[in-house]
């Protein structure tokens, strides 16, 4: 089904298209000029103090207009745009819900971070129960998803408020041994490793310059994350040098995660080296425990290697190990996913991230025109949740991406003592991040202004190596802006950059 959208608001065209995709899938919303089966027509009116939105369908999906009214906001700014967008999306959603007889689990909500909406309700002075009720009626969220949000808000209690100068450190290693079929990151295959040493030289320079900058600006860095790519695709000596260098420049961190994602990049020597550093958490990611799928998705390891590697890490004393799995991988049905979860439960990691496959445009699966499997995905995701609960974990963060099967979500579950602060900070965007390495995106969070200034590093590895000083300058400008903002706040007598 191809549906063309007619709206007086060009700026909301994509938002309405998101709603169309919720019901009719990827590629269903097309431009008016393209061949289509139906037209979704939007009419906007101002009646007294109220906006009135109407949506109707003509063509193959003929349906009379459905209208919704809402109190008009006329501040000419962000709030006006937000409220109008919400009303428009809700109206389009209700019409398509009526036409299809379907109710998506996340209702009309197409955003990346649903928890933010929950927090917004609470910031307006609502109790938890009132916030839940408001979300249900505003977005038609299912009980199940409200329950999930509720679990996350509870897990984040006491962790979400950070002082204004708090800043997390991210270091990216953009190399992997092979490229996963679903990967949309800019990471390169490590190949013969010719770029690794020049990359590390550039990275060390960025670490040196940024640690000085962090000191000058009084950034309080206690949480770190080495991600990628696959950081453990570096040799033991290279990774050791990196950890030593980070420690020398930034001092000891209270929390430091190293994504040791691929079991084929780990051995006793490398894991022992990681243990000799103050690394508090590692991630060993099976994605699936089915060997055939591992081959299909281009991962150069077996399920047996995952088990071996996990057991070795435990023997060496790692007491905070995360595992990632992906629901709806190519060729996997519910039974195969259930098998993966059973095997994971036997291993008993400290945290589990349950992803739903998203086929991004830059992935090999997209190139191969792989059609997403929609059947049973919701059941798989629900089983992931059940398994995490059985292992004594609770959901503590979630995010949604475009192109996910059934528009579902990625959820991080953890035992209460294994909550990764970086993940909360990063997903909720409540704390600034100093991101180093190719593709890292630094964020300066100024919640009082509802503003996040981003300073992205270039993703191309060779370009990054040549232009590292420029990357540092971008960050310096962004953090200087935040420093000036904080001092303006302090002058006004409000020294707090209201972090939730
Ligand atoms: S391990 Fe991650 S970054 Fe590397 S290829 Fe796979 S999905 Fe991409």
pLDDT digits (tens, 9 = 90+) for 218-253: 999 999 999 988 999 999 999 999 999 999 999 999
| Whole-number pLDDT of residue 461 | 93
CB 255 within 8 A of CB 320: no
Cβ(372)–Cβ(406) below 8 Å = no
189 or 56, which is more confident: 56
pLDDT at 369: 73
Q: Which residue has the higher pLDDT, 307 or 110?
A: 307
User: Pocket of ligand 1, candidates 173, 174, 229, 326: which has the most ligand atoms within 8 Å of its Cβ, to mutate?
Assistant: 229
Residue 282 and residue 259: Cα distance in Å, rounded? Answer: 6
Beta-sheet strand order (sheet of 351-356): 394-399, 410-414, 351-356, 321-327, 281-283, 255-259, 223-228, 167-173, 432-436, 441-446, 451-456
DSSP 409-426: -EEEEE-GGG--HHHHHH
- Give the pLDDT of residue 372: 66
499 lines ligand 1 (CB under 6 A): no
Please write the tens of the pLDDT for every residue from 108-133: 888 778 999 999 899 999 999 999 99
Compute the distance between CA of residue 406 and CA of residue 372 in angstroms, rounded to an integer.
9
Q: At a CB cut-off of 8 Å and minimum separation 6, what does 138 contact?
A: 86, 90, 117
Q: Which pLDDT belongs to residue 402? A: 73
Q: Tens digits of per-residue pLDDT, 138-193?
A: 899 999 999 999 999 999 999 988 888 999 999 999 999 888 888 887 666 666 68
Structure confidence at residue 408 (pLDDT): 84
Averaged pLDDT for residues 479-489: 87
Q: How far apart are CA 21 and CA 87, in angstroms?
A: 18
Q: For 263-272, how does the pLDDT look when each residue is reduced to its tens digit (9 = 90+)? A: 999 999 999 9
User: What pTM did the predictor assign?
Assistant: 0.90
Q: Please, are residues 352 and 327 in contact by the beta-carbon 8 Å criterion?
A: no
Check pocket membership of 365 for ligand 1, CB cut-off 6 A: no
Q: Comparing 500 with 168, which gets the higher pLDDT?
A: 168
* Average predicted confidence (pLDDT) for the chain: 91
Does residue 230 line the site of ligand 1, with CB under 6 A? yes
Q: Supply the pLDDT for residue 188.
A: 64
Does an H or E element contain 341, and which? helix 334-347
Q: Residue 427 Cα, ligand 1 centroid: separation in angstroms?
A: 19
Reply yes or no on whether the pLDDT at 496 is more than 60. Answer: no
Residue 498, pLDDT score: 38
Q: Who's near 228: CB < 8 A, 6+ residues apart?
A: 172, 173, 174, 175, 176, 185, 187, 259, 261
- Residue 495: what pLDDT? 46
Vertex 72 angle, CA 70 and 78, to 5°: 115
Ligand 1 site, residue 177, Cβ cutoff 6 A: no
Pocket test for ligand 1, best of 172, 174, 261 (most atoms within 8 A of CB): 261
| CB of 183 shorter than 6 A to ligand 1 | yes
Q: Which among 172, 174, 185 is the best mutation to test ligand 1's pocket, defined by most ligand atoms within 8 Å of the CB?
A: 185
49, 60 contact by CB (below 8 A): no
pLDDT in tens, 380-415: 999 999 999 999 999 999 998 877 767 788 999 999
Residue whose structure tokens are 């103050």: 278
Contact of 184 with 402, CB cutoff 8 Å: no
The mean pLDDT value for 334-350 works out to: 97
Residue 186 pLDDT: 67
Residue pLDDT, tens place only, 1-37? 999 999 999 999 999 999 998 899 878 999 888 999 9
Residue 497 has pLDDT above 50, yes or no: no
Find tokens 């964020």 and name the residue.
443
Q: Given pLDDT bands bounded at 50, 70 and 90, which one contains residue 374?
A: low
Q: Alpha-carbon distance 64 to 61, whole Å?
A: 10
């Amino acid at each position: 089904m191809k549906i063309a959208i007619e709206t007086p608001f060009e700026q909301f065209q994509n938002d309405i298209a998101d709603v169309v995709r919720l019901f009719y899938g990827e590629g269903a919303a097309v431009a008016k000029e393209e061949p289509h089966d139906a037209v979704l027509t939007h009419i906007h009116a101002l009646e007294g103090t109220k906006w009135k939105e109407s949506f109707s369908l003509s063509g193959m999906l003929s349906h009379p207009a459905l209208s919704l009214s809402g109190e008009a906001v006329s501040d000419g700014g962000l709030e006006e745009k937000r409220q109008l967008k919400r009303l428009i999306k809700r109206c389009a959603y209700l019409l398509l819900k009526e036409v299809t007889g379907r109710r998506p689990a996340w209702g009309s909500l197409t955003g990346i971070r649903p928890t933010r909406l929950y927090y917004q309700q609470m910031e307006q002075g609502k109790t938890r129960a009132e916030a839940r009720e408001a979300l249900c009626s505003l977005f038609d969220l299912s009980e199940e998803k409200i329950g999930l949000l509720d679990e996350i808000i509870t897990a984040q209690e006491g962790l979400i408020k950070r002082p204004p100068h708090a800043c997390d450190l991210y270091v990216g290693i953009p190399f992997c041994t092979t490229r996963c079929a679903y990967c949309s990151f800019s990471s390169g295959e490590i190949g013969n490793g010719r770029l690794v040493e020049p990359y590390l030289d550039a990275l060390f320079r960025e670490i040196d310059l940024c640690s000085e900058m962090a000191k000058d600006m009084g950034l309080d860095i206690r949480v770190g994350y080495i991600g990628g790519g696959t950081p453990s695709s570096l040799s033991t000596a290279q990774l050791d040098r990196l950890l030593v260098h980070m420690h020398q420049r930034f001092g000891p961190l209270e929390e430091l995660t190293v994504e040791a994602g691929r079991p084929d990049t780990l051995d006793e020597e490398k894991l022992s080296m990681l243990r000799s550093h103050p690394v508090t958490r590692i991630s060993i990611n099976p994605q699936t425990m089915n060997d055939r799928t591992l081959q299909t998705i281009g991962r150069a390891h077996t399920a047996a290697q995952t088990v071996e590697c996990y057991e070795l890490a435990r023997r060496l004393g790692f007491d905070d190990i995360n595992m990632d799995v992906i629901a709806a991988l190519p060729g996997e049905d519910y039974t195969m996913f259930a098998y993966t979860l059973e095997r994971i439960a036997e291993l008993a990691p400290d945290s589990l991230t349950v992803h739903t496959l998203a086929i991004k445009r830059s992935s090999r699966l997209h190139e191969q025109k792989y059609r997403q499997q929609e059947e049973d995905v919701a059941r798989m995701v629900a089983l992931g949740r059940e398994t995490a609960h059985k292992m004594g974990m609770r959901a503590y963060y979630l995010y949604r991406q475009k192109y996910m099967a059934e528009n579902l979500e990625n959820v991080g579950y953890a035992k209460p003592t294994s909550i990764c602060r970086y993940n909360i900070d990063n997903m909720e965007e409540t704390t600034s991040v100093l991101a180093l390495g190719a593709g890292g995106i630094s964020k300066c969070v100024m919640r009082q202004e509802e503003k996040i200034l981003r300073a992205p590093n270039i993703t191309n590895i060779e370009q990054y190596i040549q232009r590292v000083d420029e990357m540092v300058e971008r960050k310096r400008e962004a953090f200087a802006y935040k420093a000036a903002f904080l001092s303006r706040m302090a002058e006004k007598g409000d020294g707090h950059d209201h972090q939730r």
